[in-house]
Amino acid sequence: MGLAINDASVIYPSAEGRDPVEALRGINLTMGENEFIVALGASGCGKSTLLNLIAGFLAPTSGEVLLDGERVSGPGADRSVVFQKHALLPWLDVRENVAFGLKLQGVDSKRRYRTADKFISLLGLDGFEGSPVYALSGGMQQRVGIARALTCDPKLLLMDEPLGALDALTREKAQELILGIWEETHKSVFFITHSVEEALFMGTRLIVMSPRPGRIAHRFDLPFSRRFLGGEAARQVKASRDFIELREEVLKIIFADEEAA
Amino acid sequence: MTDDPDLSPATEARVNPRTGAFSWLMRARPTKPGETYGVPGQGETIWLSILSIATLLFAWWLVTWMGWVKPLFVPSPGAIVTKFVDVWQNGFTNTSLLRHTLVSTGRVFGAFLLACLLGIPLGIAMGMSPAIRGIFDPPIEFYRPIPPLAYLPLMIIWFGIGETSKVLLIFLSVFAPVALGARAGVRSAAIEQIHAAYSFGASRWQVMRHVILPSALPEILTAMRIGIGFGWTTLVAAEMVAATEGLGYMVLSASQFLQTSTVIMGIIVIAAIAYSFDLLMRFVERKVVPWKGRM
């Protein structure tokens, strides 16, 4: 898997007498196999616009987005998206939701339910296969959403604040779960979050974005998820000195952007 | 602070709704466990509803039994029951009550079925396509607020006094609410649901079939309930001209002979059928879309 974004810009046309909005300017980003890139930034910095570009929901005003050398020209099953909420289908039970992507691709029911059950187990949802999704807790619904995206076997998993609606405890557990799955499936992940701690803990690389115009202002390589997967406890990683120092540094950048707004 | 007596705290207290004679109307009290504080209109209604019906029936019975109103204007409840049994056994204008009922339900449900068959797909198409919406929105919005009685003469001039104009009149009154409901239902799907489906490789058709249509279902069912209500409302108008059978015809011709008990009996029969069907629709709703409003 290779994703390359070359000098991509997005300009929203002017509306009702207001000036055109430069949502993204001059974005350059490459992403390789098994990378976990986290995007962080003040609101309005273009994180979601960037995700929409990669997903193919939005075409860049200039520049290009290439996936394995081919120009992205629309959404596709090689780039599954996990949203914060409201993305599950309440008329389907857990198994049917997880198997939904395969159904769209025309996989017969026996095979798609077998695959679905595999990912249901992986996300720790055993025993809930037949439950209606609206009866599940927020954390479990999110796990269904992740399982559903994984069954499509995408090259790239796009996660738009997937843990943003969860309570703090569930959220930390979900972070560890996602890292475990990432290690097991060797997926490449593009992950948006508002939480600096989550960003540092999860990613192999961090891009910090700034608003007006939306751009990548800082890039960091991150060692922390590797340390967690190497056996160190999650809280221990998050409480380590270098983690805290980097967290404060990044927070300072983001607060400065918020002030400037 | 001021010395103006009108603004003193004492005056304020006198006009303060929290302490006035009707303060219990204004004050919000803590709820019982299991209820949510501040939800509007919270609470059981079943006993009050039963009481309300019983009171109305009692008042009706009382004014007739005491002879305060002539039976010509308001026949007694007993007279209605007697009339029902009489018409059930002997028919009305040589046609049995069952037949009147079947003819009318046939007209209403025929028109309703036709309106759903055409209105739901058209409404969905209007919701999905700006071109179709642009074409069909003006005529539907134009005729929708017109009372069916107003265009009944046109229906008769164009389609004659036979069954066609009657069913068509009812059809038109059902069609608009059903089509507009289906059109609004198309907007029910969350954009995240739609985007997720596309990101799993769905085609436009699949998104419509597997995401937009199922999420529109609750609103379509509601629109059908509203639609059939309009159908029953229009029934009497449809059976005003050149009808020889039907509940609407029965009510109208009985009124010309001042057979008030038949009029009221007919009205009750219509109401009972309409209400039973509404209950059935609510049951279907609970079975088909148990997830309605839950996500």
Which CATH number belongs to the domain containing residue A58 in this structure? 3.40.50.300
Best residue of A57, A91, A189 to probe chain B, by most B CBs closer than 10 Å: A91
Whether B249 is covered by a domain: the verdict is: yes
Closest partner residue to B201 (CB to CB) among A87, A105, A145 is: A105
Assess whether A140 and A214 both reside in one domain.
no
Whether B98 is covered by a domain: the verdict is: yes
Mean pLDDT computed over A212-229: 91
pLDDT digit string, tens, across residues B119-139: 999 999 999 999 999 999 999
Give the number of beta-carbon pairs within 8 Å between A and B: 80
Assess whether A69 and A164 both reside in one domain.
yes
The rounded distance, in Å, linking the Cα atoms of A66 and A32 is 12
Assess whether B241 and B112 both reside in one domain.
yes
Residue with tokens 């996660």: A159
Assess whether B32 and B107 both reside in one domain.
no
Burial A207-224 (b: 16+ CB within 10 A, else e): bbbbbbbbbbbeebebeb
Assess whether A182 and A251 both reside in one domain.
yes
Q: Tell me whether residues B193 and A132 touch, CB distance under 8 A.
A: no
Assess whether B40 and B80 both reside in one domain.
no
Q: Tell me whether residues B291 and A85 touch, CB distance under 8 A.
A: no
Beta strands in chain A (DSSP E): 3-12, 21-31, 36-41, 62-67, 70-71, 79-82, 156-160, 188-192, 205-210, 215-221
Angle between helices B77-90 and B46-65 (to 10 degrees): 90
Assess whether A72 and A197 both reside in one domain.
yes
3-state secondary structure of B74: coil
Nearest by Cα to A68 from A104, A32, A114: A32
CB contacts of B289 in chain A (<8 Å) are 91
Q: Tell me whether residues B196 and A87 touch, CB distance under 8 A.
A: yes
The rounded distance, in Å, linking the Cα atoms of A90 and B66 is 58
Token code pair at residue A166: 């969860």
Assess whether B22 and B96 both reside in one domain.
no
Q: What is the pLDDT of residue A195?
A: 92
Cβ contacts of residue A224 below 8 Å, gap of 6+?
A: A200, A201, A237, A238, A243
Q: Tell me whether residues A90 and B294 touch, CB distance under 8 A.
A: yes
Mean pLDDT computed over A2-29: 87
Assess whether A118 and A225 both reside in one domain.
no
Chain B nearest-CA residue for A57: B195
Residue B13, Cβ density class (10 Å: 0-12 exposed, 13-18 middle, ≥19 buried): exposed
Looking at A153, A177, A208, the residue that finishes a domain is A153
Looking at A134, A153, A172, the residue that finishes a domain is A153
Best residue of A48, A49, A73, A89 to probe chain B, by most B CBs closer than 10 Å: A89
CA distance A200 to chain B (A): 26
The range of the structural domain enclosing residue A143 comes to 88-153
Assess whether B25 and B146 both reside in one domain.
no
Q: What is the pLDDT of residue A43?
A: 80
Whether B282 is covered by a domain: the verdict is: yes
Chain B nearest-CA residue for A90: B291
Assess whether A38 and A162 both reside in one domain.
yes
Assess whether B40 and B172 both reside in one domain.
no
pTM of the predicted model as reported, rounded to 2 decimal places: 0.84
Count how many domains chain B has.
Answer: 2
Nearest by Cα to A93 from A137, A140, A128, A145: A128
Angle between helices B97-128 and B213-238 (to 10 degrees): 140
Looking at A113, A131, A153, the residue that finishes a domain is A153
User: Using 50, 70 and 90 to split pLDDT, how confident is the model at B175?
Assistant: very high
Q: Which residues of B touch A (CB under 8 A)?
A: 190, 192-193, 195-203, 206, 210-211, 214-215, 217, 289-291, 294-295
Q: Tell me whether residues B193 and A101 touch, CB distance under 8 A.
A: no
Looking at chain B, the number of H-run helices and the number of E-run strands are 13, 0
Q: Which residues of A touch B (CB under 8 A)?
A: 55, 57, 75-77, 79-91, 100-101, 103-105, 132-134, 145, 148-149, 152, 158
User: Using 50, 70 and 90 to split pLDDT, how confident is the model at B243?
Assistant: confident
Q: What is the pLDDT of residue A17?
A: 75
Assess whether A40 and A162 both reside in one domain.
yes
Whether A133 is covered by a domain: the verdict is: yes
Q: What is the pLDDT of residue B39?
A: 79
Assess whether A230 and A185 both reside in one domain.
yes
Whether B226 is covered by a domain: the verdict is: yes
User: Using 50, 70 and 90 to split pLDDT, how confident is the model at A104?
Assistant: very high
pLDDT digit string, tens, across residues A30-45: 999 899 999 998 888 8
Q: What is the pLDDT of residue B24?
A: 67
Whether B236 is covered by a domain: the verdict is: yes
Tell me the one-letter amino acid at A118. Answer: K
> Average pLDDT, whole number, for chain A?
91
Q: Tell me whether residues B294 and A134 touch, CB distance under 8 A.
A: yes
Residue with tokens 């570009």: A53
Q: What is the pLDDT of residue B13?
A: 47
Assess whether A169 and A247 both reside in one domain.
yes
Cβ contacts of residue A6 below 8 Å, gap of 6+?
A: A28, A63, A64, A65, A66
Token code pair at residue A74: 């629309």
CB contacts of B198 in chain A (<8 Å) are 57, 75
C-alpha angle A97-B210-B288 in degrees, rounded to nearest 5: 80
Whether B280 is covered by a domain: the verdict is: yes
Q: Which residues pair with A39 in a beta bridge?
A: A192, A207
Assess whether B101 and B233 both reside in one domain.
yes
User: Using 50, 70 and 90 to split pLDDT, how confident is the model at A213?
Assistant: confident
This model of the complex carries an ipTM of 0.91
Closest partner residue to B199 (CB to CB) among A55, A88, A132 is: A55
Nearest by Cα to B79 from B60, B101, B59, B102: B60
pLDDT digit string, tens, across residues A160-170: 999 988 888 88
Q: What is the 3-state secondary structure (H, E, C) of B92-138?
A: ECCECHHHHHHHHHHHHHHHHHHHHHHHHHHHHHHHHCHHHHHHHHH
Count how many domains chain A has.
Answer: 2
Q: What is the pLDDT of residue A18?
A: 77
Q: Tell me whether residues A87 and B294 touch, CB distance under 8 A.
A: no
pLDDT digit string, tens, across residues A136-154: 988 899 999 999 999 988 9
Token code pair at residue B273: 């059928």
Tell me the one-letter amino acid at A151. Answer: T
Alpha-carbon B180 to chain mean position: 15
Q: Tell me whether residues B290 and A101 touch, CB distance under 8 A.
A: no
Q: Tell me whether residues B295 and A79 touch, CB distance under 8 A.
A: no
Q: Tell me whether residues A148 and B196 touch, CB distance under 8 A.
A: yes
A249 against A41, higher pLDDT: A249
Assess whether B80 and B220 both reside in one domain.
yes
CA distance B196 to chain A (A): 6
Tell me the one-letter amino acid at B139. Answer: P
Q: What is the pLDDT of residue A257?
A: 81
Question: Is pLDDT of B202 > 90?
Answer: yes
Assess whether A205 and A250 both reside in one domain.
yes
Residue B25, Cβ density class (10 Å: 0-12 exposed, 13-18 middle, ≥19 buried): exposed
Assess whether B134 and B182 both reside in one domain.
yes
Best residue of B199, B291, B294 to probe chain A, by most A CBs closer than 10 Å: B199
Whether A83 is covered by a domain: the verdict is: no
Other CB atoms closer than 10 Å to residue A146's CB: what's the count? Answer: 24
Question: Is pLDDT of B1 > 50?
Answer: no
Question: Is pLDDT of A110 > 90?
Answer: yes
Which CATH number belongs to the domain containing residue B248 in this structure? 1.10.3720.10
C-alpha separations of B229 from A134, B217, B232 in Å: 31, 19, 5
The range of the structural domain enclosing residue B17 comes to 5-44
Q: Tell me whether residues A80 and B289 touch, CB distance under 8 A.
A: no
Whether B163 is covered by a domain: the verdict is: yes
CB contacts of B187 in chain A (<8 Å) are none
Whether A254 is covered by a domain: the verdict is: yes
Q: Tell me whether residues B198 and A75 touch, CB distance under 8 A.
A: yes
Question: Is pLDDT of A204 > 80?
Answer: yes
pLDDT digit string, tens, across residues B10-31: 544 455 555 666 776 777 777 7
Chain B nearest-CA residue for A156: B199
Looking at chain A, the number of H-run helices and the number of E-run strands are 10, 10
Assess whether B10 and B79 both reside in one domain.
no
User: Using 50, 70 and 90 to split pLDDT, how confident is the model at A22?
Assistant: confident
Assess whether A71 and A26 both reside in one domain.
yes
Assess whether A197 and A253 both reside in one domain.
yes
Nearest by Cα to A261 from A5, A44, A23: A44
Residue with tokens 């593009």: A190
Burial A87-126 (b: 16+ CB within 10 A, else e): bbbbbbbbbbbbbbbbbbbebeeeebbebbbebbebbebe
Question: Is pLDDT of A261 > 80?
Answer: no
Whether B51 is covered by a domain: the verdict is: no
pLDDT digit string, tens, across residues A42-61: 888 889 999 999 999 999 99
